Amino acid sequence: MSQISPQCSEFPWKDSGFRYYPYGYHLKQKFGQRVQKVSIDAGFSCPNVDGTVAIGGCVFCDNRSFSPSRRVRRDKIQSQIDDGISRLKKRYKVNKFMAYFQPATNTYAPVEELRPLFEQAVAHPEVVALAVGTRPDCVPDDVLDLLQELGEKTYLSVEYGMQTVHDRSLDWMNRGHHHDSFLDAMQRSHGRGFEICAHVMLGLPGESKQDMLQSALELARQKIDAVKIHNLYCVKKTPLEKQVESGEVELMNRDDYIDVLIDFLELLPPSTIVERISGEAPPDYFVGPSWCLDKPAVLNALQSEMKNRDSWQGKRYVEPT
């Protein structure tokens, strides 16, 4: 692992060995040991699937491909956690877990339905944290009140799918909302005591490098707590698959992705936790690009190029006025 730059000596991740603030390091510092996510499928849909704002879902999304358990609904949250913990303990030396409500939109239900699901997860004796993936247009105030209440009891990360600041790209992906929905969710979420994480995609069709970096500048302006960054990748049985096969959409190569990713990280605050630097899907569902299936190689390429450039997260960050 490359040594960080001397300029990073005051950053919260200075002893991590990375040139950015890695999520695993953050969790280990907070909990004293590794914490592993357990994916939970609560059976929710999305408003751009069921016809509320659109139909068909996001152009890149086949829900089955984004989690090992998807999309076979199990009877109870407890059994999903127990099964996930059992599998993860065989793979890792870990005994603390984060319950991750991952597939679809996990606040897309009334509070009276959400509360028992989240409380079941938090009550599990080996669960020390909670993560909830959702959309910025699906967090009415009463849901945020519930999340705030949960955040007072446990470490809570609420993940919003921002994806990009560009409305034309959101239209292309059939999101069913524009960037103003993300701004509204941020305004109403800040100060509630839970961690706010934004999902961002790089390599969307029609977006230049400068377009992608505008998303980084927006996250910096919002002082986002955490970010998940990944390349646009393609899985089977999606509209995107047809667009890639026809040549309508070209997926980024690794060198171009690493280049823009480094510039992206340089614009973020040093305090923003980086939960993900690339995307992948199980091989059974995956179309491309093939390079993102080798996550260690992507990480090594990123670290190597950041060292070559003497780059680090926050190098070009400017404090908002």
Predicted confidence (pLDDT) per residue in 26-72, tens digit: 999 999 999 999 999 999 999 999 999 999 999 998 755 444 444 44
Confirm whether 268 is domain-assigned: yes
User: Can you tell me the distance from the alpha carbon of 170 to that of 244, in angstroms, rounded to the nearest whole number?
Assistant: 18
Confirm whether 92 is domain-assigned: yes
pLDDT classification of 4: cutoffs 50, 70, 90: low
Confirm whether 321 is domain-assigned: no
**Contact, 94 vs 33, CB < 8 A?**
yes
Tens of pLDDT along 236-267?
A: 999 999 999 999 999 999 999 999 999 999 99
Confirm whether 26 is domain-assigned: yes
Looking at per-residue pLDDT, the higher value among 192 and 282 belongs to: 192
Q: What pLDDT is recorded for position 74?
A: 52
Confirm whether 318 is domain-assigned: no
- The CATH number of the domain holding residue 118 is 3.80.30.30
Confirm whether 76 is domain-assigned: yes
Q: Which two tokens stand for residue 120?
A: 């079941």
Tens of pLDDT along 279-293?
A: 888 888 899 999 999
Q: Is the pLDDT of residue 303 over 50?
A: yes
* Residue 267 one-letter amino acid: L
Q: What pLDDT is recorded for position 69?
A: 45
Confirm whether 1 is domain-assigned: no
What's the whole-number mean pLDDT along residues 112-129? 96
Range of 178's domain? 6-308
Looking at per-residue pLDDT, the higher value among 61 and 182 belongs to: 182
Mean pLDDT of the chain: 93
* Residue 18 one-letter amino acid: F
Q: Which two tokens stand for residue 240?
A: 């995107």
- Quote the number of domains for the chain: 1
| Positive or negative: CA dihedral 85, 86, 92, 95 | positive
Q: What pLDDT is recorded for position 165?
A: 98
Confirm whether 320 is domain-assigned: no
What's the whole-number mean pLDDT along residues 147-154? 97
User: Can you tell me the distance from the alpha carbon of 216 to that of 107, in angstroms, rounded to the nearest whole number?
Assistant: 25
Answer whether 0.85 is exceeded by the pTM.
yes
Q: Where are the alpha helices (DSSP H) in the chain?
A: 23-31, 77-91, 111-123, 141-151, 167-172, 179-189, 209-222, 239-246, 254-267, 295-308
